[in-house]
């Protein structure tokens, strides 16, 4: 497997652990506000092969406490299972980021006990999902399956939404709340513009809007927190 990026140490990407973050190229969504747009189509040159990554992880045993796998969409790759097994065999818990479009592969990861933590993006309420994901059509059935699978509680998990002023409003979070009612935890993360965002013209909501959206979400999910806020 080709590895498209490696952050050698992070305190943020794997809750409660000192970890590294591995970036995999390729995604089946085209979110116009994506921070990793260079990884969307998998055309960005890889930075290393799998063997080099595993050698790095072996050297960091005793220093790192986990490995976060992100993208792109990691579950787009069938060999993610094999990589996850090798990471486990080196003694590392794995955290997986996913957009939920591959529930069968997610189920296999969970069934095999390969993910200690899964973070799934919830792009918007179901009626606005395709436009927020930047695609013409979308199989919401697969995404709903992934949500239901995580809510079985067989692995630790979070749902999260990147909040963009032009794409989200109060109705978005009523719709999301109804959908993930009773979830373990839900994060609203404030959009931040970067050079890597594929399309311009997007803005972060005001802090008071973020707080109002969180209050709406708390009517459905007791544990709702904000990320990317000034205070």
pLDDT value at residue 85: 98
Mean pLDDT, range 197-225, rounded to an integer: 91
Residue 37, pLDDT score: 75
Q: Which pair of structure tokens corresponds to residue 196?
A: 């890597």
- Chain centroid to CA 105: 15
Query: What pLDDT score does 231 carry?
Result: 58
Regarding predicted confidence, which is higher, 40 or 112? Answer: 112
Answer with the residue of higher pLDDT: 162 or 198.
Answer: 162
**Residue 196: per-residue pLDDT:** 56
pLDDT band for 198, please (50, 70, 90 cuts): low
pLDDT tier, 50 (very low <50, low <70, confident <90, very high otherwise): very high
Mean pLDDT taken over the chain: 94
CA distances from 30 to 71, 88, 158, 184 (A): 12, 31, 22, 27
The pLDDT of residue 195 is: 63
Q: Report pLDDT for 204.
A: 92
In whole angstroms, give the CA distance from residue 87 to residue 67: 8
Whether the CA torsion 173, 178, 179, 182 is positive or negative: it is positive
Q: Any idea which residue has 């652990």 for tokens?
A: 17
169 vs 40 pLDDT, higher one:
169
- What DSSP designation does 198 have? S
Q: What is the pLDDT of residue 228?
A: 83
Q: Region 76-101: what's the mean pLDDT? A: 97
- What does the pLDDT read at residue 219? 97
pLDDT beyond 70 at 199? no
Predicted confidence band at 19 (pLDDT cuts at 50, 70, 90)?
Answer: very high
Residue 197 has what pLDDT?
60
Core vs surface per residue 9-27: b (16+ CB within 10 A) or e: eeeebbbebebbbbbbbbb
> What is residue 193's predicted lDDT score, i.e. its pLDDT?
77
| Whether pLDDT at 156 is above 70 | yes
Q: Are 226 and 211 in contact (CB under 8 A)?
A: yes
Domains of the chain and any CATH numbers: 2-170+193-198 (3.20.20.70)
Cα gap 21→95, rounded to integer Å: 9
């Amino acid at each position: 497997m080709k590895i498209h990026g490696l952050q050698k140490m992070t305190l943020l990407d794997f809750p409660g652990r000192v970890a590294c973050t591995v970036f995999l190229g390729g995604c089946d969504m085209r979110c116009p506000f994506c921070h990793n747009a260079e990884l969307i189509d998998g055309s960005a040159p890889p930075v290393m092969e799998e063997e080099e990554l595993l050698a790095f992880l072996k050297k960091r045993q005793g220093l790192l406490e986990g490995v976060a796998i992100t993208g792109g969409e990691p579950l787009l790759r069938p060999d993610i299972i094999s990589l996850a097994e090798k990471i486990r065999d080196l003694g590392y818990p794995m955290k997986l980021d996913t957009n939920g479009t591959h529930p069968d592969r997610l189920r296999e990861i969970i069934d095999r006990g390969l993910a200690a933590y899964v973070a799934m993006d919830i792009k918007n309420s179901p009626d606005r999902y395709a436009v927020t994901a930047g695609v013409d059509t979308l199989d919401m059935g697969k995404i709903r399956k992934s949500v239901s699978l995580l809510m079985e509680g067989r692995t630790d998990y979070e749902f999260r939404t990147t909040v963009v002023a032009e794409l989200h409003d109060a109705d978005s979070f009523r719709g999301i709340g109804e959908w993930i009612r009773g979830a373990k935890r839900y994060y609203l993360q404030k959009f931040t513009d970067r050079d890597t965002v594929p399309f311009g013209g997007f803005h972060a909501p005001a802090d008071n809007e973020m707080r109002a959206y969180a209050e709406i979400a708390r009517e459905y999910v007791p544990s709702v927190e904000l990320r990317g806020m000034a205070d």
